[in-house]
Each structure stands twice: as C-alpha cells, then as structure tokens.
Structure 1
C-alpha cells in the first residue's frame, strides 16, 4: 500500500482497510462450512463501518449484533433481517421491543430475568419471540481475561442446569419459541482444543433438549478465532470447521458462526504521523498524532501491533535505538508501542500500525476532544473514503444547541 500518498490525500491519523482481503477472509470462512447448512454472522462489534458491512452483505453475510444500534447498522448496510441475531447481557425493554418489531432471526437470551422480559414484551405485542439461550460451557479458552467469556466467573450466559430449566419454560410459553442454542468462549482464540471440547459439551446438552421435544434448529458456536498480532499461533479454518461438524454428527442443525476479528483484523492499518522526537535521561519517545483514543488496544490489553515506518527521505537504519511510540493524550497510558527498535525519525514521517481492522475504530473515542480518524477502503486497486474525519462543529453541535437554550428533543 502507498501509505505516503494516502496520508497526503486523506491526512492522519487514518484508518485504511483492504476490502479485497475482507472479502477473501469471509469467503474462506463460508467455504469451510460449505458442506453443512450454515450462516456466517459477521460480528459488528469488531468494525461497524457501513461500507465494510455492505461489502459483506453482498456476499450474503448475516450479522451478530450486541445493541439495537448495531441491528440498525446491519439493516442499513443491506444485511437481511432474517440473518440478524441480537446478543448481549444487557438489552433494554426498548431494544427488545424494536428487535421483535424488526422480526430478526432470533434474540440470544443470557439470563432468567431477560427471558421473562422478552416473554412479557412479546405478550404485550401479541408476538412470539424466537430465542436462543447462551449456555456457558465453563471452559477456559486460554485468552486474555478481558476477552474471555466462557467461564462461570464471566458475566455471559447461564450454566447447563439453568439453561435446561429456561428451555423447558420457553417451550411451555405461548410467546417464546426456543429455536437455537448458543455458546461463545471468548475472543482472540488460538487453541482449538477448548473450542472442540465446548462444542461436544454443548452438543450433548442439545441432544438432551431434543429428547424433551424442544425443537432446536440453530447451533450457534460464537466466534473468536484469533489472528497473528505478534507471534501467536492460529487455528486453521478447516480444523475449526471439522471440530464443530464432527461434534454435530447426526444432528440436523444449521451452524451459525460469529467471526469478527478473523474477517477484518488483518485488513486494517492505522496510519499516523510523527510530530516530534523527545529524549529524557532514560527514554526515547516518538510522539505521533495518533493516540489511545484512536487505538486503545495497547493501553487496554497491553496488545502489540507490529509497525512499519515510511518516509519521503531515506531512513538511516544503522542508527536504530529503542523507543516508545506515544500520542498527544494527557495520560501516561497513552502509548501505541513500547520498546521498539526504530531509526531516527523526522516530523512528517509515518508510523503505520498493522492488524488494526478489528476493535480499532469501533473502540475509538473523543477523549481530550479529539476527532476520530477518517476511514478509507482499498478495493480493486482504488481507494475511496468510507467515513470522513469528524468535525469539531459536529462533536459539539448538540451541547451548543442546549447551551443556547434549545431543550427540545430529549429522550
């Protein structure tokens, strides 16, 4: 990629996505499950840009959503309603109501009280709510504790004993239709064994539900397959699919997968510009115009994103030294890389962070009243804007309106 030209055209900090790679990653996932009834529901939380979602919608993708806002995004981007699932531990009454009005595929239920709310709301609307229940297999996915979701200590899902009771309750209800079962171990998974064991455990549980005449149709295995940020091993898609399909032998379920990071992670780059170099007695700092508000994963998880340096001038790699790459945010935790070996850099040189397509822009913020970056897509050798850089005027528009006395339009 010609990051120097892109930075001149769109300025920095800048997110750049290789949409051709996004398509290939999705089609590879789809192909891995091609021998079985399946639905690949892209997880919008990884990256919810409408143009990116639309790229997947054209390939017949479904959508995994964790807010009604993501459901709306999926529909706006062209995802068919009957291929949208709505997950998450904290759905409001308004969100449940809208999901039922939209008639999406199903709602993933994660607690007893949520099931009761869905039933009550459906009854009030005169509808039958299609549901799946998220079952917690209590298996260690061996990933970062912040993105682990399959243990009893996590907030997600219910244990099998509770799930059994909820399924029986739903079966007897005139306003609930339990059509699916769901589990998800976490994100950035690099070991197939926990996934295989969890699938077998949940399949055994699903068989017990079928024996109770609960007519399940969908087996949702979640997502979470990791990518290589530094030196992680990865799971081969064929092996992943076979582990799931082998567990499901003899069962006529449609398999649902919810990949996010795997689809978009490696396609994205955060392009930043060097502002200054700074030396103290003990440290060398390279200060860039990108910050933790643009890419929070290093500060939040201690995540490592490989980086590359680009300059219009020749770089002197014979004089490399260790440096921290930091941003302008007023926090000591505002860094994008630590202890990396870099040559002397000048203002205007670029530092590009790789594998930033997932949980980059989607977790960005306006901290320190910083504008979120522009997003650009590359497709068939051509670049196009996917989202313009935020304007200060738009950031403060509502507050300014209120400051001037306009108090209309509150929710």
Structure 2
C-alpha cells in the first residue's frame, strides 16, 4: 500500500516555531503557548505535563465548521472522543455545538458527563459488547454505526428487549487506500472495519425488516492522518453511488456519516487543506439531500496540545543521548507508529544556541523508548525543558503507568491563564486499587 512519505529532512527549530502561530519565543520568558510561558507551567505543576490550548481548540473547530459552511454544506460535527477524552476538552467542544463519536461505553459516559446529550452521540467500533449497546440504547443515543451482520442482529435483540428503537447506519468498507500508515488505515478490504460494499444492499434491506431497528443511512471511515483529498473523493463517490442504489431499491436513506481522519502537519508541512476537503464533500455528496455527519479528532486536538518535559541528563559516548523525564508510557506514538514530533527548547537562550545531533529518549527500559533520532538540538543541561509538539491527539489517552511511572499532570490554557485539569498521579495511587489475597503457601 502507499504510505505517507516521511519528512525528507527535519525542519529546523525556527521553521517549527514559525509554523505554529500559538507558539512564540520571548527573549525573557522563553517559549510561550497562547501567550503563557511554559516555564511558568513547569514551575507550578512540574514535568512531564500535558499542556492544551483552549484558544487553539476553538480556532480549529471554527475553521473546519467555517470551511464546510462556506462550501454550502450543512455538516454536523461529532468530535472523535478517542483522540483526547478529557472532560475539559469534551465540554469545550460541546459549547461550540459538537456532538461526540464514541467507540466504547466509557467514552459514551465521558461524553454524557461533559454535558453532551445522548441523542447527539454516534457509537462506532467493530466490537461493541451487549452490555455497551444495552446501556447506550437505554440512554437514548443518537445513532449506531453498524460494522457487521452479526452486530445488527445483536442490536435488534437488545432494542426489542429494552423497548427502545434504534437509528443505525451501516458502515460500508469502500476498499479505498487512504495513503496513510498501515496501522491506522481502516478502509481497505482486508481491514477489520466495516461491511463489504457488495453486502450493504442486502443487509440494509434486512435491517429494515428487523424489530427495533431504523436504518437511516451509510457511514464510511477510511483511516487517520490523511493528507490528500483524493482518497476521500474515491470513498465518497462510492458512498454516493450506494445511497442512490439503495434509494432506487426503495430504501430510505437520510444520513451519510463521512468519518474523520483529517491529517495535520507534524513538521513544518501543511496538513489537510480544509477548502479542498470541503470541495470534495460538496462535489461527491453535496446533492444527495442527506444529513451529513463527520467525526474529526486529530485535526481538532493534535496541534492544540504539547508534552512539556525536563532533561534528566545528557549521555555522551559514541552517540549523544538527551534523556528526558517523559517516556513512551506518556507519549506512545513514536514507539508505536514511528511518529515524528517536533521538539523545541523552552529556554530562549538555548533556542538560539549552537546545535548538534542528538537522540532524544526517555528513561523506560525499552529501546523503543525514543522520541527522536539525530535531532539538531543545543546542549541541554539537567533541568532544561523541552516541548514535544502536536501531542494533543493520541497522547494522554494512550498513556500508561508502565515501569510504575505515575501519569503526568495536565493543564488547560485559556484567556492567558493556565488551569490544572488533571493532577499528577502520586506513587501511592499506582497500587490504590490493588488487593493482596491470602496466599496458600
């Protein structure tokens, strides 16, 4: 399959900074995020620490909604909770008018806790349990995206048992290569996701006969971190053909869920063009007369977050290693996906100092615990601070306590002030829920 090409050369620190308007370097305060000095955050809450920018979150949501509206499209945005499930972020998107796209009962309950109405939640995912489906149906969720014939029968039985009819959309697998990393593509025929296109007409007609089931439309989602509109054009054209075919066969189709996957620039390259994406949506499905939904996650939150870390030491030998107090248990993406994240010194003096190649690593006992290889960075003394950029998506949600490392604190910047939204986990918290049974021997 065609994969997104890696950066041909690492952008330098100035280019990384220039590509991110929410970040500025002040001569005295050092690196600032939405005008708040990151040194002040670290001085108050320590490191490692997740830092999110409310202004950036709002700006990216409004930019996406505005591009769709400018193209004459009425698209209801359901934020993909899996990208970052913090209640503060969910509440912020709720206030902007977003619903939620969830893939577990836990995410459903988080969305509800943040004030998102159950009727404004879409439940996706290939393996929803009967417990999860039952709880969501009883709560009155808005829509279930069905991934298989077997799941459809489960939903019908549950809906009949609890006496609540359910709106469902069939997730069609369009067999389209999204051009992204093989571990985050979801729209190919050999992926576990969705229903083969040739099976959708028969299953849609069957759904219309099942008690408790109201088939309302089609859903597609072809992957994550998609940087070109071309795969969307192919997938949406197939979805449009399916909608027309179903209607010609006498079925009612009122909803088309466009999925998500809009990519961002992790270096100094641009991410997905919103206008190009909106134009593809308009061209391929704009004349269908359906309610359009979409499920963005990374695009909204990725650039709105960073991981603030401190240098433990520099280890010099055959190679230069900068060892941070953050690790793969905090930010898993580089170890899991070979993901590239920009790294900026927080100190203005260090930002302008001479640079030399270094591998940036964490203290976890795994060779995969590495954030960067051969990155040009200044000399970093113990206690120096760095910001790992674009870590707002699939960062904190994928973190763990591996090596008995407590989870990091999290802070939200809003209006020039920063607020603690998750306290740092204490050592004692690591075993607070564990129990010692009586041992036989």
Distance change (3 Å), C-alpha of 1:91 and 1:210: same
Moved more, 389-398 or 334-343: 389-398
Would the aligned equivalents of 2:174 and 2:238 in 1 still touch at CA under 8 Å? yes
Q: Any conservation in 1 of the 2:174–2:220 contact (CA below 8 Å)?
A: yes
Question: How far did 1:33 drift?
Answer: 2.4
* Contact 2:168–2:213, Cα closer than 8 Å, also in 1: yes
1:224 aligns to what? Answer: 261
Q: Which residue in 2 is equivalent to 1:95?
A: 132
- Spell out, residue by residue over 1:154-175, the C-alpha distance to the aligned partner (whole angstroms, 9 max, x if none): 1100111111111011011122
2:27 aligned with 1:8: no
* TM-score normalised by the chain length of structure 2: 0.88
Q: Is 2:324–2:360's contact at 8 Å kept on the other side of the alignment?
A: yes
Q: Secondary structure at 1:135's aligned position in 2?
A: strand
Q: Does 1:193 align with 2:198?
A: no
Aligned with 1:357 (options 389, 392, 397): 392
Residue 393 of structure 1, CA deviation: 2.3
Indicate how the Cα distance of structure 1 residues 278 and 284 shifts in structure 2: closer, same or farther if over 3 A, else same. same
Deviation of residue 139 (structure 1)? 0.7
Q: Distance in 2 between matches of 1:6 and 1:126?
A: 51
* Residue 184 (structure 2) pairs with residue 147 (structure 1): yes
DSSP-derived class of the 2:96 partner: coil
| Unmatched tracts of structure 1, length 5 or more | 406-411
3-state SS in 2 of match to 1:376: strand
Counterpart mapping for 1:263-274 below 5 A: 263-274=300-311
- Would the alpha carbon gap of residues 124 and 314 (structure 1) be closer, same or farther in structure 2, given more than 3 Å must change? closer
Q: 2:60 aligns with which of 7, 13, 25?
A: 25
Instruction: Please give the per-residue CA displacement for 1:24-78, whole angstroms capped at 9, x wherever unaligned.
Output: 1111111222233321000011100000110110111010101111011111111
Residues 1:253 and 2:290 are matched in the alignment: yes
| Maintained 8 Å contact 2:350/2:379 | no
> Does the 8 Å CA contact 2:350/2:378 hold for their aligned counterparts?
no
- Please tell me whether residue 381 in structure 1 is matched to residue 381 in structure 2: no
Q: Deviations over 1:278-312 (max 9, x none)?
A: 112x2111111000010011111111101101238
Counterpart-to-counterpart distance in 2, 1:95 and 1:110: 15
Which of 358, 376, 383 aligns to 1:348? It is: 383
- Partner SS state of residue 246, structure 1: helix
Does structure 2 retain, via aligned residues, the 8 Å contact 1:37–1:253? no
* Corresponding residue SS for 1:32: helix
The 5-angstrom pairing of residues 304-383 of structure 1 reads 304-311=340-347, 317-318=353-354, 320-383=355-418
**Aligned-pair Cα RMSD in Å:** 1.5
TM-score using structure 1 length: 0.95
Conservation of the 8 A alpha-carbon contact between 1:131 and 1:179? yes
CA distance, structure 2, for counterparts of residue 298 and residue 127 of structure 1: 44
**1:276 Cα deviation after fit:** 0.6
**Residue 81 of structure 2 contacts residue 107 of structure 2 at CA under 8 Å; is this kept in 1?**
yes
> Residue 273 of structure 1 contacts residue 350 of structure 1 at CA under 8 Å; is this kept in 2?
yes
CA–CA distance in structure 2, aligned partners of residues 391 and 163 of structure 1: 50
Cα offsets for 1:345-393 (capped at 9, x unmatched): 1111011111111011011111111111111011111110111111222
Q: Which deviates more, 377-386 or 242-251?
A: 242-251
Q: Aligned match of 1:158 in 191, 195, 208?
A: 195
Moved over 6 A (4+): none
